[in-house]
Amino acid sequence: MSPIVNWIGLWTLVKREVGRFFAVYRQTILPSLISSALYILIFGFTLQQRISEIGGVPYTLFIIPGLIMMNTLTNASANTSSSMLQMKLLQQLPDILTAPLSSVEISLAYIIGGTVRGLVNGVLVLLLGVILLDMPIQQPVMTLIFIFLVSWAFSSMGLLLGQIADSWDQLAMMQNFFLTPLSFLGGIFYSVKMLPEWAQTLSFVNPIYYMINGIRHTTLGFSDSSPTVSFLMALLLTILFTVLAMILMHSGKKIKQ
Amino acid sequence: MSVPAIHIQGLTKSYDTVQALKGVDITIEEGQFFGLLGPNGAGKTTTINILTGLVLREQGITEIFGRDTVKDYRFTRSQVGIAGQELSVDWFFPIEKLLYFQAGYYGIPKRKARPRVEELLHRLGLSDKRKSRLRQLSGGMKRRYQLAKSLVHDPKILILDEPTAGVDVELRHELWHYLREMHQQGKTILLTTHYIEEAEMLCDRVAIINDGKVITEGTPKELTRRLGRAGITVHLAGWRDDLPDLLRNFTYTHEDGRIHFTVRDPEGEMPEIISTLARHGCHILSVETAKSSLEDVFLSLTGKGINEA
């Protein structure tokens, strides 16, 4: 009698996915810390001369939640998308596809791997803020839940993209032309209230705007968007991308012939 | 009657406008060493990839020990170990760890997999390389690692897709030896190959696949007897006018005292030919036999050699 869930198989694949990015931590963990520290130093300390406070907090502190989110979501999505594409291109995928693992188990393992990377990167940038700038965390549990949720959502999105992409070029295009601009336009470095009305309206259709403001609320205690809307948006993206990634995996359309 | 280890019936598969499989039927009994012989592009890899879940099935039946490979994939995949044609490359982990991962995918925890992993590393001469990454191994070692990977969960069925393609003679013989050992231990083996010699030496049953269809099946001996073009050439001191009458029961051609008999079983039919000629006082200078091979079988069925098809 075959088991309903191949727990050992699922756990093994999670270990592989997590072990994979820890094995190359210089590529997957340290850059977030270095780039965030640079953002704090260059953007924060120079712009602080001109923008003293936003929402009652110093500018350098204001940008930290956005940096946390940017690092969380880019790392979470990069982990799953690159791992999936790499396995496709280097003929590693057959090892998993011929094993008694269901499409849900395979998807979950990848998503958990990406979520862990997003979470690790997000929390490290958070700690950087606490250590360098004595950043307050108004709601620590909600902050962690929010980072986790956003990690999961973008890890699932990465899995979707990794399955769809056939080359590194396609993957880079999706990241460079969509994810990075949407992150920057989501209000990492500014409050949307500083923008003209038409630009504010545009920001409202950018899902990353809600992610950044959600964590800004749980840490600094204020945000442009309602915290409930931010949380619901994160939840919606999590469910949407998880379901889409699993449906595509189950169909086998982009990973099987 | 026992349930076959592998049962494939009416299997079809198309890629865009190309029909790769046009109704493949294969049944492999438990314990058999089965060869799927055919030229490149005949449909060998597609057939086994559907069987193992790497390619989506279009129409037909694919069963492992009587269970459907799509509906009952957890059971069927746990029974099969596969060594694919393409070598996978993993940059991140040493091969020992990769073997433990592979066992884990099959639901075997590390502590249970340890004796098996140790045995395979030792048996396949990889113990010293256990901490090496795949990129650090030679081509031959990569092939051996691949075999170890396919055997780590101790499957009842071993599927090997062109296992000796591109390997040197020494390693080929090494792999053959190991495969024979696996077979003696009771494993059912399905081997795809376009090396005639490999199929003849190892397999106790062979199916020839060409252009997406199995065109014949049987033991190598049966096939060569039925479809081979073996012959016996007898060199006489001279041709005699009464010979056509004496040899009327045989199929032959002659030229300058050399008579070439077309026979299915050279060893079985040679005594009768020799005694017929000797009884009638023919002076035999020499006798040569040409044994039929699966290459002849392939040639007689398709009109082309296996490597030119």
Domains and their CATH numbers in chain B: 6-225 (3.40.50.300), 230-291 (3.30.70)
Whether residue A105 has pLDDT greater than 60: yes
What is the rounded CA–CA span in Å between residue A81 and residue A161?
6
Q: Using the beta-carbon criterion (under 8 Å), do A97 and B102 form an inter-chain contact? A: no
> A256 in a domain, yes or no?
no
Determine the pLDDT at residue B1.
62
In contact, A192 and A200? CB cutoff 8 Å: yes
Q: Using the beta-carbon criterion (under 8 Å), do B105 and A12 form an inter-chain contact? A: yes
**Tokens 């049987």 correspond to what residue?**
B218
Extract the tokens encoding A125: 């940038």
Q: Using the beta-carbon criterion (under 8 Å), do B104 and A11 form an inter-chain contact? A: yes
Determine the pLDDT at residue A204.
87
> A22 in a domain, yes or no?
yes
Any B CB within 8 A of A26 CB: no
For B59-74, what is each residue's pLDDT tens digit? Answer: 999 999 999 999 999 9
Determine the pLDDT at residue B306.
64
Determine the pLDDT at residue B261.
83
Whether residue A60 has pLDDT greater than 70: yes
| Choice among A50-54, A154-158, B151-155 with the minimum mean pLDDT | A50-54
For A182-236, what is each residue's pLDDT tens digit? Answer: 888 888 888 888 888 888 888 888 999 999 999 999 999 888 889 999 999 999 9
| Choice among A28-42, A46-60, B125-139, B231-245 with the minimum mean pLDDT | A46-60
Whether residue A119 has pLDDT greater than 90: yes
Whether residue A36 has pLDDT greater than 60: yes
Q: Using the beta-carbon criterion (under 8 Å), do A100 and B105 form an inter-chain contact? A: yes
Determine the pLDDT at residue B8.
95
Number of separate domains in chain A: 1
Whether residue B309 has pLDDT greater than 70: no
Find the mean pLDDT for residues B144-172: 89
> A158 in a domain, yes or no?
yes
Q: What is the ipTM of this complex?
A: 0.88
Find the mean pLDDT for residues A53-57: 79
> A45 in a domain, yes or no?
yes
Burial class (CB in 10 A: 0-12, 13-18, 19+), A49: exposed
What residues are paired with B231 via a beta bridge? B262, B290
Any B CB within 8 A of A13 CB: yes
Find the mean pLDDT for residues B186-213: 88
Q: Which domain holds residue A28?
A: 7-251
> A227 in a domain, yes or no?
yes
**Tokens 């609320």 correspond to what residue?**
A217
Amino acid at B19: Q
Q: Using the beta-carbon criterion (under 8 Å), do A15 and B77 form an inter-chain contact? A: no
The chain A residue lying nearest B16, using CA atoms, is: A257
Q: Which residues contact B60 (CB under 8 A, 6 or more apart)?
A: B8, B9, B10, B11, B12, B23, B24
Q: Which of B56, B93, B102 sits opposite A257 (nearest CB)?
A: B56
